[in-house]
Chain A
Amino acid sequence: MSGERNPLAAIGPAAPGRRGAPGDRLLFKTFFYSFAGFLILFSAYLFLANLDQLFVTEAAVRSREPALWEENRKVLTSFAGGFWQDPYFWKSLNLTLMITLITTLLASAIGIPAAYGLSRYRIPGKAVIEVLFSSILVIPASSVALCLIVMFNYGPLWDLQQRWGFRFAHSLFPGMVIASFVLSFALGLSAWKAAFDSVNPRFEQVARSLGSSRWRAFRTVSLPMAKSGLAAGVILAWTRAMAEFSAVLFFCGTFGELPPERFSTLERALRIDQADWLSVAIWAQIEYGNVEYGFALAYILVLIGGLSVYAMHRIGAKGYIW
């Protein structure tokens, strides 16, 4: 029969022992799960193990007291530094939320149309633009912050500020918005571009063949279709603005210790005077010695960050991470 000439016949049936070994699958899964598990446990440990820093121990109070060199400042020795009683905390939260809201609105207003243009139109040097925006996200935040300082406090922009008699740096309103805008915009732009990339341009072509102008086709077709991706980008931009630290520290500094006369009546009316950017406040409080207070603020930031990243996972966002 022809079976004898079949070249496969010489090999014979597959060795039974090598296939379907029950241990293989188990070992494989255990191996990979252990790494993922390490990652999750490490992260969870990092964030949960610090919960006891919120409680004040007697030893800590005693060791802290002689280190105080200022008499007009009281030591916060209650649970979590008693942050909810402190107007400084509420003002800081108020300030941070207000500024990040402005930043996010500004970034969305500029970034969504720009991302649409980047995704749809043929623009020369697109590769260079992409390298520029993705490298903004991996340039050390201290360098970005320093670039901001040099950009606004030296050269032509400084002359301009001198002439107009106002300052970008070390101010609440334009200063903090600029500082938190730089990275938040770069991150949001990438997410928005990804959202528009995932919408097939065919839909717009059809809309235009039915008589829509470009703007109308964008508004009625692309925008609603990219809606969830855009929303995720807005959350991402806001989270990044909340997480900003170096740029605000370098470019604006701290305001908590400044006398009230330094703030305008509007700032006082909005209750954002004598307040700090939240992440800067964490650093300032821990450096000062109010460890519990600092950690309480840190946990508030962790809560906000965790909720927004969970929201992004639920939406199924696409984009860069920093």
Chain B
Amino acid sequence: MPRGFFSRGHVWPAFTIALILAAISFYLFLIASNWFYLGWSDTLYFFSHPRMWQRFWLTVWTSTVSMALSLLIGIPAGYALSRFSFPCRNLFASIVDLPIVVSPAVIGAFLFGITTRFPFDLIGEHYHLYIGRNIYGVLLVQFTVTCAFCARLMKASFDMIPERFETVSRSLGASHFRTFFKLVLPMARNGIVASAIVVWARAAAEWEGLMLFVGATEGQTDILPFAVYLDWNGGMMGWVSSMTLVCVLMAVAAMAAMRLIGGKSRVW
């Protein structure tokens, strides 16, 4: 017997798929709109300008440095969060998550509030290292946000490895450290690489903190997402659109790479 597409059984699937299509077309239109606005020739013009690439490389190296710092702290911290049990787990986990879930403007304000105090004033005095309206400020903002983020991602990667393997390894006489470095880390390698990519992309996307805490110095602190804001305020719509295009491409490339490695950016 013939059945139409909208017969009883199909209404619900058709409805859900229609919503998916609507959402996808909205988001695709959203991220492609800049290119429609710019067109080929303008895109080529702005992309061939050294000002763009200077900012691009600034973004790449700052986010790479903050990714490296975050991994250094995040991997062991993620392992501790994943394996050890301690009282008030949920409370501590929420504290770790706070820098990620509150508005990034708040982070900027709070960093602005603490850089004149205890650890930072000592660093400034002894090492003549000023953390504030310079590149170190950029790194601090990126690090603050990505460090917690990285620990959460690492916790998720380590959670996927059953604890059984560690028990077996220790029952065979390997020490805790040996088990971690020779067994757990290699097993989690894919997850760590995938997470590192997400962390990098997240670091390259951070800018709200810079607005309150670092401020603009042409060629020094204007990483791409911040430069989008600065040039938008300056009314340079062409620059803004082309830089947005670069940011979008960076994010999509990072996420595609992460997916190719087989990672998930799922955390909870």
Asked whether A and B interact, the reply is: yes
Q: Which residues of A contact B (CB under 8 A)?
A: 14, 18-19, 21, 24-25, 27-29, 31-33, 35-36, 38-40, 42-47, 49-50, 53, 110-111, 113-114, 116-118, 121, 123, 127, 129-144, 146-148, 150-151, 154-155, 182, 185-186, 189-191, 194, 213-215, 218, 232, 239-240, 242-246, 250, 278-280, 282-283, 286-287, 294-295, 298, 301-302, 305-306, 308-310, 312-314, 316-322
Looking at the assembled complex, report how far the CB atom of A231 sits from the nearest CB atom of chain B, in whole angstroms: 13
A132 neighbours in B (Cβ, 8 Å): 24, 27-28, 252
B74 neighbours in A (Cβ, 8 Å): 39
A142 neighbours in B (Cβ, 8 Å): 207, 225-226, 228-229, 232, 244, 247
Instruction: Find B93's partner among A25, A155, A250, A313 (CB 8 Å cutoff).
Output: A313
From 1 to 40 in chain B, residues with beta carbon under 8 angstroms from any chain A beta carbon are 8-9, 11-13, 15-17, 19-20, 22-24, 27-31, 33-34, 36-37
B98 neighbours in A (Cβ, 8 Å): 43, 47, 302, 305-306, 309
Question: Contact between B208 and A43 (Cβ–Cβ < 8 Å)?
Answer: no
A301 to B228, CA, bound (A): 26
Looking at the assembled complex, report how far the CB atom of B70 sits from the nearest CB atom of chain A, in whole angstroms: 10
Looking at the assembled complex, report how far the CB atom of A167 sits from the nearest CB atom of chain B, in whole angstroms: 17
A32 to B73, CA, bound (A): 10
Question: Contact between B33 and A155 (Cβ–Cβ < 8 Å)?
Answer: yes
Question: Contact between B95 and A118 (Cβ–Cβ < 8 Å)?
Answer: no
Residue pairs across A and B with Cβ atoms less than 8 A apart, 13 shown, are A24-B177, A43-B99, A46-B144, A50-B110, A117-B13, A117-B16, A135-B201, A138-B201, A140-B204, A142-B225, A245-B105, A283-B109, A313-B93
A305 to B197, CA, bound (A): 26
A231 to B157, CA, bound (A): 24
Residue of A nearest to B59 (CB): A140
Of B44-52, B78-86, B122-130, which stretch is located at the interface? B78-86
Of B131-139, B185-193, B259-267, which stretch is located at the interface? B259-267
Question: Contact between A189 and B80 (Cβ–Cβ < 8 Å)?
Answer: no
Instruction: Find B207's partner among A35, A123, A141, A239 (CB 8 Å cutoff).
Output: A141
A305 neighbours in B (Cβ, 8 Å): 98, 101-103
Is B205 interfacial (CB-CB < 8 Å)?
yes
A223 to B228, CA, bound (A): 42
B241 neighbours in A (Cβ, 8 Å): 146, 150
A301 neighbours in B (Cβ, 8 Å): 102-103, 106
A186 to B27, CA, bound (A): 9
Question: Contact between A244 and B103 (Cβ–Cβ < 8 Å)?
Answer: yes
Residue of B nearest to A181 (CB): B26
A302 neighbours in B (Cβ, 8 Å): 98, 102, 106
Given A49-B113, A135-B252, decide whether A25 and B176 contact each other with a Cβ distance below 8 A.
yes
Looking at the assembled complex, report how far the CB atom of A215 sits from the nearest CB atom of chain B, in whole angstroms: 4
Is B161 interfacial (CB-CB < 8 Å)?
no
Question: Contact between A321 and B267 (Cβ–Cβ < 8 Å)?
Answer: yes
Instruction: Find B175's partner among A21, A191, A298 (CB 8 Å cutoff).
Output: A21
A47 neighbours in B (Cβ, 8 Å): 95, 98, 110
A312 neighbours in B (Cβ, 8 Å): 268
A19 to B171, CA, bound (A): 9
Looking at the assembled complex, report how far the CB atom of B177 sits from the nearest CB atom of chain A, in whole angstroms: 6
Given A218-B12, A245-B103, decide whether A45 and B205 contact each other with a Cβ distance below 8 A.
no
Tell me the dominant secondary structure on chain A's binding face. Answer: helix
B81 neighbours in A (Cβ, 8 Å): 36
Question: Contact between B109 and A282 (Cβ–Cβ < 8 Å)?
Answer: yes
Other than A36-B151, A314-B90, give 4 A-B pairs with Cβ distance below 8 A: A111-B23, A140-B207, A182-B30, A298-B106
Is B217 interfacial (CB-CB < 8 Å)?
no
A38 neighbours in B (Cβ, 8 Å): 73, 77
A321 neighbours in B (Cβ, 8 Å): 97, 100-101, 149, 152-153, 265, 267-268
Given A43-B96, A139-B247, A182-B30, decide whether A36 and B76 contact each other with a Cβ distance below 8 A.
yes
Looking at the assembled complex, report how far the CB atom of B264 sits from the nearest CB atom of chain A, in whole angstroms: 9
Question: Contact between A32 and B79 (Cβ–Cβ < 8 Å)?
Answer: yes
Residue of B nearest to A133 (CB): B27
Instruction: Find B205's partner among A43, A116, A139, A191 (CB 8 Å cutoff).
Output: A139
Question: Contact between A242 and B268 (Cβ–Cβ < 8 Å)?
Answer: no
Instruction: Find B256's partner among A131, A151, A190, A295 (CB 8 Å cutoff).
Output: A131
Question: Contact between A114 and B84 (Cβ–Cβ < 8 Å)?
Answer: no
Looking at the assembled complex, report how far the CB atom of B183 sits from the nearest CB atom of chain A, in whole angstroms: 13
Is B212 interfacial (CB-CB < 8 Å)?
yes
Given A146-B241, A279-B105, A305-B98, decide whether A140 and B30 contact each other with a Cβ distance below 8 A.
no
Is B53 interfacial (CB-CB < 8 Å)?
no
B11 neighbours in A (Cβ, 8 Å): 215
Question: Contact between B23 and A310 (Cβ–Cβ < 8 Å)?
Answer: no
Residue of A nearest to B199 (CB): A138
Question: Contact between A282 and B80 (Cβ–Cβ < 8 Å)?
Answer: no
Given A138-B198, A302-B106, decide whether A50 and B113 contact each other with a Cβ distance below 8 A.
yes
Question: Contact between B247 and A185 (Cβ–Cβ < 8 Å)?
Answer: no
Question: Contact between B104 and A245 (Cβ–Cβ < 8 Å)?
Answer: yes
B228 neighbours in A (Cβ, 8 Å): 140, 142-143, 146
Residue of B nearest to A240 (CB): B101
B76 neighbours in A (Cβ, 8 Å): 31-32, 35-36
A215 to B81, CA, bound (A): 40
A131 neighbours in B (Cβ, 8 Å): 252, 255-256, 259
B20 neighbours in A (Cβ, 8 Å): 114, 117-118, 123, 129
